[in-house]
Structure 1
Amino acid sequence: MHPRVSLHQVAMMDRETGPFLDFCCDIGVQHATLVSPRLMQASELRAAREAVQHGTIRVGCINHPFALKPDLERHTENAADGLIKVIDMAAELGAPSIYLITGGRGALSWEQAAERFADLLAPCREHAAKQGVALLVENASPLTVDIHIAHTLPDALRLARLAQIGLCVDLHACWFEADLREKLAEALPLTGLLQVSDHVPGDRTTPCRAVPGDGAVPLEAILRDVLDLGYTGLFDLELLGPRIEAEGPAKACARAANTLSDLLTKLGA
């Protein structure tokens, strides 16, 4: 398996963290993206810690929902306190980064919501820097407007710059954008994680991801550009939706990991 392949835990949320990491090892994947709500449970954090200590797997990133209660405008808890806990978990597990779901905008304009996100996040930046953990924000499907505000690559980059953090680039949410290579060239210097999946035309549910090679995303061309532009990080498989469930998450994840591994090897990553 190519050492830059990572698998996102969201594909197998029916499994606890320990069994999920065991699965990654069984199929030869060396990195995993974990989700913070599971790590908040002591037994699951312990399982992740043990796996890392045994050297069987590395945590490449942690996904954290930031201000979802109920949205950026009306968040009723201290978002910074929650993120600081996750930063400490990331440092303990050796995870180099955390990527954030911002929270929806509520009745705020995009610009107001972006400022609100940056303000809520501000107390966490110094702590993250001291712990050696990069904070990232992703671009996400516009169908997730209830939980996130950045839905194009330029908007995600604008938000990252405003919040003074990095980027997680999800190709599923931007592969169809105009001038993609030029946008990637601007975004990749801030990018700490790049997410890979496919899309079958006609699928309109959310999520609606497919195993790489099963759909219309020109992944070979895009990944060639990404590598040519100097990206040196992980390629994270984020797989979920009806197609993944129909095939079976374990089978789909194994097939996706092998397909991506072969592609990265072919491209000389």
Structure 2
Amino acid sequence: MHPRVSLHQVAMMDRETGPFLDFCCEIGVQHATLVSPRLLASSEFHAAREALRHRTVRIGCINHPFALQPDLERDTGAATRDLTQVIDIAADLGAPSIYLITGGRGALSWEQAAARFADLLAPCREHAARRGIALLVENASPLTVDIHIAHSLPDALRLARLSGIGLCVDLHACWMEADLRTKLAEALPVTGLVQVSDHVPGDRSTPCRAVPGDGAVPQEAILRDVLDLGYAGLFDLELLGPRIEAEGPAKACTRAAQTLSNLLTKLGA
């Protein structure tokens, strides 16, 4: 398996963290993205740490929902407190970065919500720098407006710059945007993770991801641009939704990892 392939835990939330990391090893994937709600449970954190001692897989990133208690407008400090704890977990597990779902805006305008996100994040940014952890914010589908505020690649980059952090580029949420190569050229210098999946036209619910190669996303062309523009990080498979469940997460993840691995090899990554 290509060493830059990563698998996101969200595909297999029915498995605890230890067994999920075992699965990554079984199929030859060398990196994994873990989800913080599981790691905040002490038993899962200790299981992950134990698994990492005896497995070849490494943690490439941790996904953390930020101001979801209940949103950016009404958060009273829980977002800052919880992220501070996740930063320490990431450092203990050797994860280089954490990518964030911002939380919904409540009744705030986009600009007000972005400023609120930056304010809540500021103490965490300093703590992350001390622990050697990069903080990232992703672009995400507009259908996630209840939990996130950045729904295009330019908006995510604007939010990252305002907050003084980096980017997680989810290609599933931006592959259809105009002038994508130009936008990627601007975004990739501050990008710590690129996420890969496919979309089948006609799927209108969320999540609605598919195994790379099963849908309409021009994977080879986009990944060639990403590599040509100098991105040197991991490619994270974030797979969830009805198509993944129907095939079976283990089978879908295995097929996706091999497809992505072959494509990265072909492109000379």
What TM-score results when the alignment is normalised by the length of structure 2?
Answer: 0.99
* Alpha carbons 1:70, 1:76 under 8 Å: kept: no
Structure 1 match to 2:156: 156
* Alpha carbons 1:68, 1:147 under 8 Å: kept: yes
SS in 2 for 1:130: helix
**Separation (CA, whole Å) in 1 of partners of 2:51 and 2:193:** 21
* Alpha carbons 2:18, 2:47 under 8 Å: kept: yes
Structure 2 match to 1:138: 138
Structure 2 match to 1:208: 208
Alignment map for 1:94-133 (pairs within 5 Å): 94-133=94-133
Structure 2 match to 1:61: 61
Equivalent pairs, count: 269
* Alpha carbons 2:69, 2:79 under 8 Å: kept: no
Poorly superposed stretches of 4+, deviation over 3 Å: none
Structure 2 match to 1:86: 86
Q: Which amino acid in 2 is paired with 1:52?
A: L
**Separation (CA, whole Å) in 2 of partners of 1:50 and 1:230:** 35
1:4 Cα offset (Å): 0.2
1:76 Cα offset (Å): 3.5
Q: Which moved more, 1:45-54 or 1:20-29?
A: 45-54
2:10 aligned with 1:10, yes or no? yes
**Separation (CA, whole Å) in 2 of partners of 1:212 and 1:55:** 26
Structure 1 unaligned regions, length at least 5: none
Alignment map for 1:38-77 (pairs within 5 Å): 38-77=38-77
Structure 2 match to 1:28: 28
1:203 Cα offset (Å): 0.3
SS in 1 for 2:136: strand
**What percentage of residue pairs aligned between the two structures are identical?**
86
**Separation (CA, whole Å) in 2 of partners of 1:232 and 1:56:** 21
Q: Give a deviation string over 1:178-211, Cα, whole Å, max 9, x none.
A: 0000000000000000000000000001000000
SS in 1 for 2:103: coil
**Separation (CA, whole Å) in 1 of partners of 2:20 and 2:181:** 34
1:48 Cα offset (Å): 1.0
SS in 1 for 2:223: helix
1:77 Cα offset (Å): 4.0
Q: Which amino acid in 2 is paired with 1:40?
A: L
SS in 1 for 2:126: helix
